[in-house]
A and B are shown apart, each in its own frame.
Chain A
Amino acid sequence: MWREWIPFWRPGVSSYAGDIDLLFAGLLAISSLVVLLLLVLLVTFAVRYRRGSNADRDHRIKKTWYWEISWTTVTLIGFLCLFVWGAVLYLEVYGPASNALPIYIVAKQWMWKAQHPGGQREINELHAPVHRAVRLIMASQDVIHSFFVPAFRVKHDVVPGRYQTLWFKAEKTGVFALLCAEFCGTDHSRMTGRIVVMEPAQYESWLSREDVGGTLASEGAKLFRELGCSGCHMGQSTVRAPPLEGLYGKPVPLQDGSTVIADEGYIRDSILLPKSQIAAGYEPVMPSFAGRVGEDELIRLVAYIKSLADEGRPQR
């Protein structure tokens, strides 16, 4: 395969890695050509026109702007092609994933915590099925970290105070390195883990082997009651609050006339910063839960509210 011919290159193993490897090969080929061209010119001129040689120095190039315009144009066109190539792939990797399995990641100094929707938890490990898109919803509890899996050619910073998402689709079973790529303090270089990619059947049996309390959504439902959210957001409340059934993934009209899509980030912000985006037609009466719920609880609440979209009706 062509990828094995790139020097020192380990071919990637995700659905998207092949495109990156090709992009690298392209960049490498173009750069090598440029370097070769310059090298030949420099060496030729340097030898031919060395002081003392009797090479012909008459008829020097007078109209330099001819040359300037030509090499500027050629360079510009070449660069624009590279720009488009890189941009198209970027839109793919940072774009939406279809039919993806959601997994929640919480990063903190110096470990990766993964939580599966079924309630399975792991530390510095992430089990995932092969040939299936996995969508990570990532949060940081302290400083900026960066989720980096070299074999998949993917990376995304995990910036505190927001959700960040990244998807990948592994095309090979095996164990792959997970690294933290953004400097995060003393043990930055030890904030590493493993991505274990399994056949779907094995993955299912791994899921069922894990000892779990309840699904993320059911734990979220419990929190939803304990924190008093249900007091306003459930059916017979005296306070008029927006209903959460069928909310996830739908556009929400806001008071200022704009509209947002109710994704994980919107739900998170609405819990922590309820005054920032007020749903049209409602009073801004919700108190902020910032400081009262940590990233782990937030994930459960978000998972619960997401589950309402599927069921259409809250669990009582």
Chain B
Amino acid sequence: MNPRQELNYLNCEHTLRSWFLTTDHKRVAILFAATITMFFFIGGGAATLIRLELATPQGDLVSSDVYNRLFSMHGIVMVWFFLIPSIPTTLGNFMVPLMIGARDLAFPRLNLTSWYLFLLGGAVTLYALFIGGVDTGWTFYTPFSTMYSNGHVILAAVGVFIAGFSSILTGLNFIVTIHRLRAPGLTWYRLPIFIWSLYATSIILVLATPVLAMTLLLISLERFFGIGIFDPNLGGDPLLFQHLFWFYSHPAVYIMILPGMGMVSELVTCFSRKNLFGYKFVAWCSIAIAGIGFLVWGHHMFVTGQSVFAALVFSFMSFIVAVPSAIKVFNWTATLHKGWVSYDAPMLYALGFIGLFTIGGLTGLFLAALAFDVFVTDTYFVVAHFHYIMVGGMVTAYFGGLHYWWPKITGRMYPDYWARAAAILIFFGFNMTFFPQFVLGILGMPRRYHTYDPALQVWNVLSSAGASVLAVAYLLPLLYLGWSLFCGRRAGPNPWNATGLEWQTSSPPPKHNFPQTPRVQRGPYVYTPEAVAVAQNA
């Protein structure tokens, strides 16, 4: 092979400058990936200490103040510096132009700016966490956060505030890119579902994040200048904060899970060699979730004393927003019907996602049912529920996507055996960690408890034991993926025999993605009998 042909986005330039001042979406994606991986392990470290502490009912490993700082740090880092940016800024950043046949995102320099803002916000927050931390929980509830907390609330809030702008810029960039830069012939109904779901995600990023920015600003005003907004002693209203906070933070849940759903749609079709069942329904379900997701925030406040009428409306809307998610699960399942299903590592992650997301979603119905929420809200039932969605769902999908596109991103294959082992280990480790927490919830253990009733120890020990399995399972990919970078077998342009445009260019892709702009004549998942036969014999 002619060495000139092998020039790709990774080996075309080697200077530091070519990385830190790059406008190539693929390199920016790598920068983001390195950054969020670091945050994932920082947040994971905090989680490890939390689970170690909770192995015994007394507070014996750390003091209560340290414990409170640990779970606050875990939440803040994982939500804003891992989950929200995870798929959009890494796999999304890398794949959106490739999947729609473009040379780059619409605003390459804005994309790089987004990374620098993220880095700055992350640095400020980490600084706050390491010079003494924050003890408010990731929710910053007032008036505790504004008038009573002795942590570095303002500094942490400033960090999150800055990172929020990174989210907004990324969202904006995706929206414009998807509208303007699609290859000729790539109509909306020929877009991969991953693109649809990132489009829906971007809408939420752009519309909801400013509300978070305002809320954090108001907190800083009250804490620093004593201007009464949320503290009743200053004439404010503590519930106003919760309304503002959840107006962002509930849609933020969909920022986290929608890309995961899109990811799984890609995996299920590719490894079933079939068009996605009910493509249009799945596509519009993403948009529906993004829209209805803005009208359910009050379900975090059923026991705060908001009006009973408001609670009824929010409960009703919460059941409605669950419908499109349920439809997606049915469609993924139906996609397997009469397909040619194979069990490569990405597919195992996808199947794991469907199982864990279903449990997370169904327990969401428990919480949407008003009277039951009164009983279990603010207990470990809630903790278990959202970890099933965020970690069981989102992180599993992220790993699935990473394994699916790894050959495209790096040009190398990882060892299949280890990848499957990790996928299975993550599934069981996850269930072992979080299923006992449902039980703890219905036995009445409140969340954010440093010490607890000794009668509940057995469930906590089970959960902590599961967490150690999960920790190993999350470290495994770091090892074999790292190994594959140097020693992995060359992947070739399309190792999965998948259909998307991203597989039509070489792996790793050249700097400008495609030698010439592709023309699109069919839908995203059209597996012709010949293509299936090729896959069969491969």
Bound pair (A, B): yes
The residue from B273, B334, B365 contacting A61, defined by CB atoms under 8 A apart: B334
- CA–CA, A156 and B340, complex, Å: 53
Inter-chain contact A86/B442, CB cutoff 8 Å:
no
- CA–CA, A23 and B452, complex, Å: 27
Counting CB contacts under 8 A, is A150 at the interface? Answer: yes
- CA–CA, A148 and B303, complex, Å: 10
- CB-CB under 8 A from B342, the residues of chain A are 50-51
- CB-CB under 8 A from B327, the residues of chain A are 68, 71-72, 75
Residue of B278, B378, B443 with highest tally of chain A CB at under 10 A: B378
Inter-chain contact B375/A20, CB cutoff 8 Å:
yes
- CA–CA, A19 and B370, complex, Å: 13
- CA–CA, A9 and B442, complex, Å: 7
Inter-chain contact B308/A49, CB cutoff 8 Å:
no
- CA–CA, A188 and B442, complex, Å: 19
Which residue from chain B places its CB closest to the CB of A75 in the assembled complex?
Answer: B326
Closest chain-B Cβ to A13's Cβ sits at a distance in Å of 12
Counting CB contacts under 8 A, is B374 at the interface? Answer: yes
Inter-chain contact B450/A188, CB cutoff 8 Å:
yes
- CB-CB under 8 A from B389, the residues of chain A are none
Closest chain-A Cβ to B313's Cβ sits at a distance in Å of 10
- CB-CB under 8 A from B450, the residues of chain A are 188-189
Encode contact with B along A63-98: 1 for CB under 8 Å, 0 otherwise.
Answer: 011011001100110011011011111111111000
Counting CB contacts under 8 A, is B189 at the interface? Answer: no
Closest chain-A Cβ to B332's Cβ sits at a distance in Å of 9
Counting CB contacts under 8 A, is B311 at the interface? Answer: yes
Size category, B interface: 35 or more
- CB-CB under 8 A from B443, the residues of chain A are 8, 10, 150
Stretch at the interface among B38-46, B85-93, B140-148: B140-148
- CB-CB under 8 A from A8, the residues of chain B are 439, 442-443
- CB-CB under 8 A from A160, the residues of chain B are 143, 231-233, 238
Which residue from chain B places its CB closest to the CB of A10 in the assembled complex?
Answer: B443
- CB-CB under 8 A from B273, the residues of chain A are 51
- CB-CB under 8 A from B355, the residues of chain A are 39, 42
Inter-chain contact B319/A87, CB cutoff 8 Å:
no
- CA–CA, A24 and B319, complex, Å: 16
The residue from B59, B278, B308 contacting A90, defined by CB atoms under 8 A apart: B308
Which residue from chain A places its CB closest to the CB of B536 in the assembled complex?
Answer: A51
Inter-chain contact B315/A83, CB cutoff 8 Å:
yes
- CB-CB under 8 A from A52, the residues of chain B are 536
Counting CB contacts under 8 A, is B37 at the interface? Answer: no
Residue of A9, A60, A86, A182 with highest tally of chain B CB at under 10 A: A86
Residues A90 and B311 in contact in the complex (CB < 8 Å), given A51-B340, A79-B322, A185-B149: yes
Inter-chain contact B319/A161, CB cutoff 8 Å:
no
Encode contact with A along B307-329: 1 for CB under 8 Å, 0 otherwise.
Answer: 01001100110011011001101
Inter-chain contact B337/A87, CB cutoff 8 Å:
no
- CB-CB under 8 A from B448, the residues of chain A are 183, 188-189
- CB-CB under 8 A from B144, the residues of chain A are 143-144, 183-185
- CA–CA, A188 and B68, complex, Å: 9
- CB-CB under 8 A from B312, the residues of chain A are 87, 90
| Given A46-B351, A142-B148, A159-B304, 15 additional A-B pairs, CB 8 A | A27-B366, A35-B359, A45-B336, A49-B341, A75-B326, A75-B327, A87-B371, A90-B370, A144-B143, A155-B374, A155-B378, A180-B446, A186-B65, A189-B451, A190-B451
A-B contact pairs, 27 of them (CB 8 A): A19-B371, A23-B369, A31-B366, A38-B329, A42-B333, A45-B339, A61-B338, A64-B334, A65-B281, A67-B277, A72-B323, A83-B319, A90-B371, A93-B371, A143-B141, A143-B147, A146-B303, A148-B378, A160-B143, A161-B237, A162-B232, A183-B68, A183-B448, A185-B144, A186-B68, A186-B135, A189-B451
Residues of chain A at the chain B interface (Cβ within 8 Å): 8-10, 19-20, 23-24, 27, 31, 34-35, 38-39, 41-42, 45-46, 49-52, 55-57, 60-61, 64-65, 67-68, 71-72, 75-76, 79-80, 82-83, 85-95, 109, 142-144, 146, 148, 150-151, 153-157, 159-162, 164, 177, 179-190
- Counting from the closest, the 8 A-B pairs by CB-CB distance are A161-B232, A150-B444, A86-B369, A89-B371, A90-B370, A45-B336, A189-B449, A181-B378
